[in-house]
Chain A
Amino acid sequence: MSKVSLEINGKKISKEIPDHTTLSIFLRDILNLTGTHVGCDTSQCGACVVHVDGKSIKSCTALAADLDGSKITTIEGLTTNGKMHPMQEAFKKLHGLQCGFCTPGMVMSAIDLLKNKKNPSDTEIRDWLEGNICRCTGYQNIVAAVKEAASKM
């Protein structure tokens, strides 16, 4: 067992957890933050993307103990006073989702892209979303949503 202290969506949390607990399991099973999804569970599909100290990572392939002391933002941490993040708004407006399973990861990954590139091209968006897989194949609207969000952010 390891004691892990993290700041999650602005809230400080300390827990005693088994050493092999991944961040995705910590978020979903221990904190009940089920907005972060687990698809492949081997860091290929990107449904579990969250931000750790401002950078996007795949939470299924990081040990919670390894991230002790980090600041984490999940999809649940994006709204302010009940208002959706511009990226969430854009996905809603432009139907950037079908079944919605990949969406939390897509949104978190896309926000990280806009931190580094304010107005990415279609190619840059597609390159960046390399690690996020949508099996409804709704990429067209996902790319459009990221561009829309870029114009609003």
Chain B
Amino acid sequence: MKTFNYHSVKDVKEASKLSSSKSAFLAGGMTTIPSMKLGLANYKDIINIKGIKKLSGIKVSGKTVTIGSTTRHAEVANSKEIKKAIPSLSALAEGIGDPQVRNRGTIGGSIANNDPAADYPSACIALNAVIHTNNRKIDAEKFFRGMFETSLKSGEIIESIEFAIPQKSSYQKYPNPASRYAIVGVYVAKHKSGVNVAVTGAKSCVYNDKNLSDILSKNFSADAINNTKISASGMNSDIHASADYRANMVKVFAKKAVEAC
């Protein structure tokens, strides 16, 4: 790993001020550190934001669950409040990586990285999340822009993620046996306003399958999507799964998720 200047900051303003086009914010470091070791990324400055107290923690109100950006996966997985309000969200956190990754990795880091196979982006889409940054609020639908790309601007820091508590929800994934990243993951959430079917791992970026969402909004049953054809166009194809296979898995896991709701 090439060297850099390490900064540990105590507030968001300081972090933002130190940032530049050659810097990265460090939270859990579960992607940032391996990326630097592999030479995929190099930074002049690493700005550790874990010392900013207000970025960590879980708040549950009547309608929403708000999770601070530096909250670790293990905290979300073990939170009694989240287990009660949105059990599928704590179950998702429990399925990320391995125990050591869950002890370090953070929700903010996961969504800022927007890995096409990451779990949390699907939760943001399915649960109508609002991403709170130091400058603005961004709807999840507008936040995830493409492969490893978000609408965050330089120096912008995610402070928290606010999830709407659904009536019913379930996240089901086919995990890569080695990494536990989703080969295909489907997060189904039934809200008063309608159903979301968020898909991760299948394409270059998480997306809401509008067709499945519409069908399930009218008839919330696994049988309702039995005859729905999922196009393989735009699906990822790699050594783990072909595009056609992934397209089929979207339907299989959407049905599983509806049944598990």
Nearest A residue to B50, CB-CB: A66
Q: Are A19 and B29 in contact (CB under 8 A)?
A: no
Residues in B neighbouring A18, C-beta threshold 8 A: 3
Q: Are B8 and A65 in contact (CB under 8 A)?
A: yes
Instruction: Find residues 8-37 in chain B having any chain A CB closer than 8 Å to their own CB.
Output: 8, 26, 29-30, 33-34, 36-37
Q: How far, in angstroms, from A125 to B99 measured CA to CA in the complex?
A: 11
A2, A41, A112: the one contacting B99 at CB < 8 Å is: A112
The yes or no answer to B64 lying at the interface (CB within 8 A) is no
Q: Are B50 and A58 in contact (CB under 8 A)?
A: no
Q: Are A46 and B4 in contact (CB under 8 A)?
A: no
Interface residue SS majority, chain B = mixed
B2, B30, B179: the one contacting A20 at CB < 8 Å is: B2
The yes or no answer to A109 lying at the interface (CB within 8 A) is yes
Q: How far, in angstroms, from A68 to B51 measured CA to CA in the complex?
A: 11
The yes or no answer to B97 lying at the interface (CB within 8 A) is yes
The yes or no answer to A63 lying at the interface (CB within 8 A) is yes
Q: Are A131 and B38 in contact (CB under 8 A)?
A: no
- The answer to whether A62 and B97 touch (CB under 8 A), given A56-B103, A130-B180, is no
Q: Are A130 and B99 in contact (CB under 8 A)?
A: yes
Residues in A neighbouring B99, C-beta threshold 8 A: 56, 109, 112-113, 128, 130-131
B1, B26, B37, B100: the one contacting A131 at CB < 8 Å is: B100
- The answer to whether A57 and B100 touch (CB under 8 A), given A43-B34, A44-B178, A66-B29, is yes
Nearest A residue to B29, CB-CB: A61
Q: Are B34 and A66 in contact (CB under 8 A)?
A: no
A55, A61, A132: the one contacting B30 at CB < 8 Å is: A61
Q: Are A55 and B103 in contact (CB under 8 A)?
A: yes
Interface centre among B26, B38, B100 (most CB of A within 10 A): B100
The yes or no answer to A5 lying at the interface (CB within 8 A) is no
* B7 shortest CB reach to chain A, Å: 9
Q: How far, in angstroms, from A115 to B179 measured CA to CA in the complex?
A: 25
Q: Which residues on B are within 8 Å of A, measured CB to CB?
A: 1-6, 8, 26, 29-30, 33-34, 36-38, 46, 48, 50, 74, 97-101, 103-104, 178-180
Q: Which residues on A are within 8 Å of B, measured CB to CB?
A: 2, 18-20, 22, 41-44, 46, 49, 55-58, 61-63, 65-66, 68, 109, 112-113, 128, 130-132
